[in-house]
A and B are shown apart, each in its own frame.
Chain A
Amino acid sequence: MIVLLPLAAVVARSTDGGLDGFWRAVSSREAVAALRLTLIVSVAVVAINAVMGTLIAWVLVRDEFPGKRVVSAVIDLPFALPTIVAGVTLLALYGPKSPLGVNIAFTRVGVALALLFVTLPFVVRAVQPVLLALDREMEEAASSLGASPLTTFRRIVLPNLRPAIVAGASLAFARALGEFGSVVLISGNVPFKTEVAAVFIYAQIGNDNVTGAAAVSVVLLALSLLLLASVSRLGKRRHDE
């Protein structure tokens, strides 16, 4: 009642003007630009956080240093901090009044930064437990067989982490596709330049173009469902092994 009915309403509304109307709404230049920007920035952001997230998980599991527990708690900050506050804080440091002399407000870099912030924990939290449970003897076996540390990481550790990295990255990607709160202030909502899909939908609701909003929403929904399905497939496969 709370979840399915409203989503069904979105799908129904998107095809109010027939499939034709749906297609026209989705293929409007502004909608296409917003969707394309969303996809491109999301892919880039997820790629960066897949690498950084794996690295951070590695440091948290295999390294020892004072204050490690605090760092581990800080990872969850993006989950705990309201997204709008994330946007405000990033603008305070990297915006027009930046003490560092940079200004990422109203730029695509700014949008990417906001998405990096909110998607950071996903890969870290997916990889951490797997790394913790990883059989250290596999790495010792590899090194006794003559593998260098880099080869051991590439051939032994990485293949075992890959399902977790992919799962975390998929969740991060789903989150990035729909992200609104942290982006809305930074992007400045400049159509064709910094307007991402969620901001576009928000603007269309404000302009009473509900069908257009619903059509783009359906595209986002479909992408998210696809990701969700693939993640749960992945999870099941790992379970079977």
Chain B
Amino acid sequence: MSRLGLRAIALGYLAALLVAPVALIFYRAFEHGFGAAWSAVTTPDALHALQLTLLMVVVAVPLNTVFGVACALLLARRRFPGKALIDALIDLPFAVSPVVVGLALILVYGRTGWLGQALADNGIRVIFSTPGMIIATIFVSLPFVVREVVPVLEELGVEQEEAARTLGASQWQVLTRVTLPSIRWGVGYGVVLTTARAVGEFGAVAVVSGRLAGQTETLTLLVESRFERFDLVGAYAASVVLALISLAVLVGMTLIQRRKVA
């Protein structure tokens, strides 16, 4: 088959599967004018959903970044018993269905869950409220930073760190002056992916949130509930907000990728 033929097939597939559908919702959202779309994303429910989504990001991303970098340093620089097991377990959230994640959290933190009684006695409500959604978000976006940083650390090798140590740098100085600056683009890439997942998570959050409009509804849940209520313009408008965030993520990924290569 000719080069042009292969190119046409590849681009045609991408266009039909990815580009055309996403382009169409931009068109559909603004079909009835910019005003209709704007008012659909500025209703109290929509604004609350946006806030809640941002809250997920603000809590989950920093936590997962710190955990991810620490975990990556451990996996790439230390030997300890059970390392292979941890290495395998880190990927688990990628392999588990988001719905199963939600179910699992209910079974631990829910009313009848393992910790449910203890939490209820202290007046803490996890499931059907924000803490549960945050835990769900952390769960599903946990591996990104680790997975991006470990290969960077491995490729970096230990020579620069050893050089710094022979020059009299303390453990902390080695970390902050040598290691962290060298992995910053890897971390950045992981953070972007974590953010994308935190913004976009649907299944796990849907299960643990209880879907209370104006209370535990994130943007993704809002899209679904509007779609189910046949509020198509509202669903498309909220989708466009999420799609714009994704496009920003894509741009970020591309820019960082270029830096990483350079």
| Complex contacts, B219 vs chain A, CB 8 Å | 82
Which of B2-10, B42-50, B166-174 binds A? B2-10
CB distance from A127 to the nearest CB of B (A): 12
Q: Does B72 contact A (CB under 8 A)?
A: no
Q: Does A143 contact B (CB under 8 A)?
A: no
CB distance from A210 to the nearest CB of B (A): 7
Q: With CB as the reference atom, state the residue of chain B lying closest to A199.
A: B99
| Complex contacts, A65 vs chain B, CB 8 Å | 7
**Chain A interface residue count, Cβ-Cβ cutoff 8 angstroms:** 75
Given A9-B104, A85-B242, are A120 and B96 neighbors across the interface (CB < 8 Å)? no
The listed residue (B106, B227, B246) touching A77 by CB distance below 8 A is: B246
| Complex contacts, B142 vs chain A, CB 8 Å | 2-3
Interface residues of A in 64-110 (CB under 8 A from B): 65, 69, 71-86, 88-94, 99
Q: With CB as the reference atom, state the residue of chain A lying closest to B255.
A: A73
Sort chain B's interface into a size bin: 35 or more
Mark contacts of A155-197 with chain B using CB atoms, 8 A cut-off: 1 yes-contact digit, 0 otherwise.
0000000000000000100110111110011000000000001
Q: Does B145 contact A (CB under 8 A)?
A: no
| A194 to B3 Cα, complex, angstroms | 38
Q: Does A58 contact B (CB under 8 A)?
A: yes
Given A59-B7, A77-B246, are A84 and B98 neighbors across the interface (CB < 8 Å)? no
Given A10-B100, A77-B246, are A89 and B21 neighbors across the interface (CB < 8 Å)? yes
Mark contacts of B95-110 with chain A using CB atoms, 8 A cut-off: 1 yes-contact digit, 0 otherwise.
1111111111111100
Which one of B17, B25, B97, B196 has the greatest number of beta carbons of chain A within 10 Å?
A: B97
Q: Does A228 contact B (CB under 8 A)?
A: yes
CB distance from A10 to the nearest CB of B (A): 5
Mark contacts of B124-160 with chain A using CB atoms, 8 A cut-off: 1 yes-contact digit, 0 otherwise.
0000000000010011001000000000000000000
Q: Is the CB of B196 within 8 A of A80?
A: yes
CB distance from A65 to the nearest CB of B (A): 6
Given A9-B104, A75-B14, are A177 and B246 neighbors across the interface (CB < 8 Å)? no
| Complex contacts, B247 vs chain A, CB 8 Å | 80
The listed residue (B10, B25, B114, B250) touching A56 by CB distance below 8 A is: B10
Q: Is the CB of B95 within 8 A of A217?
A: no
Hey, which bits of chain A sit against chain B, CB under 8 A?
A: 2-7, 9-10, 12-13, 52, 55-56, 58-60, 63, 65, 69, 71-86, 88-94, 99, 113, 116-117, 120, 171, 174-175, 177-181, 184-185, 197-199, 201-202, 205, 210, 213-214, 217, 220-221, 224-225, 227-229, 232
**A-B contacts besides A9-B107, A73-B254, A185-B228, 20 pairs, CB < 8 Å:** A6-B139, A56-B14, A65-B7, A71-B14, A77-B18, A80-B196, A81-B242, A82-B223, A84-B200, A84-B202, A85-B220, A171-B94, A180-B97, A180-B202, A185-B224, A202-B203, A210-B103, A217-B99, A224-B95, A225-B95
